[in-house]
Amino acid sequence: APSAAARTAPLTADVVIVGAGLSGLTAARDLVAAGRSVVVLEARDRPGGRVYGMPLGDGTTNEGGAEFIGPTQDRIAALAKDMGVDTYATYNEGKNVYYRGGKRSLYATDGLLGAVPPDWGVVDLELALLKLGGMVKEVPVGEPWKAAKAEEWDAQTFHTWSRSNSLSSGARFLMDAFASSTLSVRSQEVSLLYLLNYAASAGNEANPGTIDRLINTRGGAQESRFVGGSQEVPIRLAARLGDIVHYNAPVRSIVTEAGGVTVTADGITVSAERVVVAMSPAIAGKIDFSPALPASRAQLVQRYPMGSVAKFVAVYDTPFWRADGLTGQAVADSGAIDATFDNSPPDGSRGILMGFMNQANIRKLDGAPAADVRAAGLDSFTKLFGDKAANPTLTAFQRWDNETWSGGGPVGVAPPGALTAFGPALREPCGRVHWAGTETSGYWTGYMDGAVRSGERVAKEVDAAL
């Protein structure tokens, strides 16, 4: 930690980076490598932002925020490799659990069509997804507002589209579950164009994005995990950057004057040529800019809300569901948890179940005492995986919707009308102020990979401008 004197003396650098999440840290790495002097200001007392190892209470941690990495996520993969953080396969042997209308059933994950839930609505669903997949191909990655049908698609929610393109309650439930489990919003809250772009972005320069790559475990975004937890990546990167990263330094104002910018955080002021704001639009909206930002940017931040997400985990002596022939993955239409994964360590030396509490489910528990959250989480696990789930040795819980410096998660989600009118303001620099963060990425927007890509893009942008 910097000394008190260092914290009060004004600093000077070529570039100030606001935010030590993956996007800000990556930008810092590349700008330092380009020979620029950099100061990183981070509001929290730790690096990583939405990547966080939540304490289990016994000295170990489990992923409380971002967790998985999958194929075509090349930039986070390269960064992790550089940091010496290995990956291992997400546990995916056996059957998944489907819980709908009070009925629990099991389904295979390795069928001809992949993991298809046992619901009469799936035929209907597959037809709708086929149509959706065709539309995904028409979206220019990272510039959805340029799609030929952008206006039409941005004029409706995914809910509106899913109701006019399916008849069965099963297909509708599964499409809502798709929005909920990928974006942590209700389908009513998200623009169809945003969702299409999200799928278009689930790829790389050689492999166009697909809905399957977004939702799948095997072959998709949930395929692998990081040994030691995803937080190892930002922790090691921040350590490598050393004392240019200042913690407990929430930036309050950014003033642009003729010769440069002055960035003021609690206890520390930095003068620089350029500033990179590396966070979601909604959280960037808390910073006071002088002169005021152009209206398109000032209003974008009012139209890009974060999803509502939390993770609940329970620790058991063994991953007992594996012995029962289950992957530990489930989809549910009721209870506090609507999707689950096996979050056990690589050697399976103990069992850890993770449940997502998304959108309305987590809002119901707003302000609830810890004991009530625990009871609601264990009630879900028991319904899905049986009575053995009722008696964990430890539980832990991390909600994001009331985190001051995240405001929700996993990502900012555009409602109808936002992308077509304000989308370009996501990345367009405002004078000496540049923007990073996963929300600004073309490929894998919303993911760690998108955050890293955005840091790499902004570093080039700033280096060229200096």
Ligand X SMILES: Cc1cc2nc3c(=O)[nH]c(=O)nc-3n(C[C@H](O)[C@H](O)[C@H](O)COP(=O)(O)OP(=O)(O)OC[C@H]3O[C@@H](n4cnc5c(N)ncnc54)[C@H](O)[C@@H]3O)c2cc1C
Binders in 194-223 for ligand X, by CB under 6 A: none
Instruction: Compute how many other C-beta atoms are within 10 angstroms of the C-beta atom of residue 410.
Output: 24
- Residue from 32, 38, 56, 66 touching ligand X (CB under 6 A): that is 66
140 binds ligand X (CB under 6 A): no
Burial class (CB in 10 A: 0-12, 13-18, 19+), 10: exposed
Closest CA to 101 of 124, 117, 113: 117
Q: Is 439 annotated as a binding residue?
A: yes
In the complex, the smallest distance separating the C-beta of residue 268 from ligand X, rounded to whole angstroms, is 10
Q: Which range in 27-35, 155-163, 278-286, 365-373 contacts ligand X by CB under 6 A?
A: 278-286
Q: Which range in 97-105, 149-157, 185-193, 281-289 contacts ligand X by CB under 6 A?
A: 281-289
Residue 107 CA to residue 116 CA, distance in Å, equals 7
- Residue from 11, 13, 15, 22 touching ligand X (CB under 6 A): that is 22
447 binds ligand X (CB under 6 A): yes
Nearer Cβ to ligand X, position 187 or 231? 231
Residue 397 CA to residue 182 CA, distance in Å, equals 19
Q: Would you tell me the crossing angle of helices 22-33 and 232-241 to the nearest 10 degrees?
A: 30
Residue 191 CA to residue 420 CA, distance in Å, equals 10
In the complex, the smallest distance separating the C-beta of residue 4 from ligand X, rounded to whole angstroms, is 19
Q: Is 67 annotated as a binding residue?
A: no
Nearer Cβ to ligand X, position 417 or 429? 429
CB 389 within 8 A of CB 378: yes
Residue 112 region by backbone torsions, left for phi larger than 0, else alpha for psi between -120 and 50, else beta? alpha
In the complex, the smallest distance separating the C-beta of residue 428 from ligand X, rounded to whole angstroms, is 17
Instruction: Compute how many other C-beta atoms are within 10 angstroms of the C-beta atom of residue 117.
Output: 18
385 binds ligand X (CB under 6 A): no
Span between the terminal Cα atoms of the chain, in Å: 29
- Residue from 11, 31, 32, 41 touching ligand X (CB under 6 A): that is 41
Q: Which residues pair with 98 in a beta bridge?
A: 105, 331
309 binds ligand X (CB under 6 A): yes
Q: Which range in 42-50, 115-123, 362-370, 377-385 contacts ligand X by CB under 6 A?
A: 42-50
Q: Is 323 annotated as a binding residue?
A: no
Site residues (vs ligand X, CB under 6 A): 18-24, 41-44, 49-51, 65-68, 250-251, 278-280, 283, 286-287, 309, 311, 400, 405-406, 409-411, 437-438, 446-451
